[in-house]
Amino acid sequence: MSTNKLHIPLTMHDLYGDNVLYSSRPSYGFNPWLQPEEHQSNLLSARELIIANMPVIVHKATVTEKIQKLLEIKGVRMPEQFVTYETRSEYENIIKAYAKQGKIFFQYAHEKGFVHDDDYVVRRDIFLNLNNKSIIEKWTNGAYLPKREIVKYTDFEQRVREWTLPFVVKPGDEHPTAGGYGVMLCYTDEDVEQTVRRVHEATDTDQLIIEQFIEPVKNYCVQFAYSEARGITFLGASIQNVEKYGKYRGNTTDRNIPEAVIEAGRKIMQNGVDAGYVGIAGFDILVDKDDQLFAIDLNFRQNGSSALLLLDNLLEGEYKKFLAYYSNGDNQQFYETILEEVKHGNLFPLAYYDGDYKSENAFPSRFICIWHGDEAMIEQKSKDFEERLTGEVHAE
């Protein structure tokens, strides 16, 4: 099969324009609520490379011959618009140098003063406000909210013990969170005490949110995109798979999104646009057994399932599943298993972080992908694949 560029109907370049560099990884700076290990952050740097069509700063281990070969099997040419880094100093120097000639779209806001606020595509202060969980009612017009209380850090321990279980605790300041990190679900008194201990460790926190736990029938991530030229575009919605204690485990497609969910998301997106937002945004909206809607998290940024939705019509099959996998240490076996499955035709590679890029098994390799095909077949294939892989299954 000859390789070619994917003809994606909407890319990040269409939204952000020229002279913009995209960074998908968290800052190297300390964040008490988002402390992924460095390899995870490096993997994330390339998660949106396929849908970008614009300069992206990626770790060198994500653009090796291995990912190129996986893409070639799918008939896709490796994107060329990227700049690579290996170390913290290289990453930071590249960002700062680019900011002198263009703008940056940060997936996660970096420390104040890292670059000027106006060097962000969406000004840093606006970006932080849009993603601040404590003022979510501003963007929902006070609708779709669970019962919640915002408490000062110093008052948290007393107030949290006065709430009735179950409930959820979240950071209520400008620190970004993702993938369930920083979200603490409390079902038991033991969970409450563990949460208190976790909060005590996060001394660089001004306030926290205690929120009613909603038992969802469906957990949607409904996504929109905005540019001045295109206006607001509905990208679709996916089902979020979340563990009992809130850890995000990927997304699957859903063809029957309630109109009420789409309309709620559109209203939120419009409020964000009115405040100055440009780009892709995804809103976590729960539907309970009474068909009530609850907006529990607003992410004015790309999301794990953004590529899933943007590539939906380009990948065969009605059912799509976004997942990530980590090697158990045998990187060669990990890659060969992936290679074999990609050849079978139902696995699309988004990113491969090569633990062998300098020396064999230097660190565990990681892989982000989309399964596509018939639902029953994909569920069985992915289960069999995980057994052969003998590694860990994760979502980013």
Contact between 106 and 23 under an 8 Å Cβ cutoff? The reply is yes
Amino acid at 251: N
Distance separating alpha carbons of residues 274 and 175, to the nearest angstrom:
23
Catalytic residue from among 25, 47, 148, 301: 301
Q: Where would I find the H helices in 56-172?
A: 65-73, 88-99, 124-130, 136-140, 156-160
Backbone angles phi, psi at 248, to 5 degrees: -70, 130
Distance separating alpha carbons of residues 92 and 98, to the nearest angstrom:
10
Contact between 342 and 335 under an 8 Å Cβ cutoff? The reply is no
Is 301 among the catalytic positions?
yes
Q: At what angle do helices 331-344 and 65-73 cross, to 10 degrees?
A: 20
Distance separating alpha carbons of residues 226 and 87, to the nearest angstrom:
33
Contact between 178 and 133 under an 8 Å Cβ cutoff? The reply is no
Give the chain's length: 396
Catalytic (active-site) positions: 301
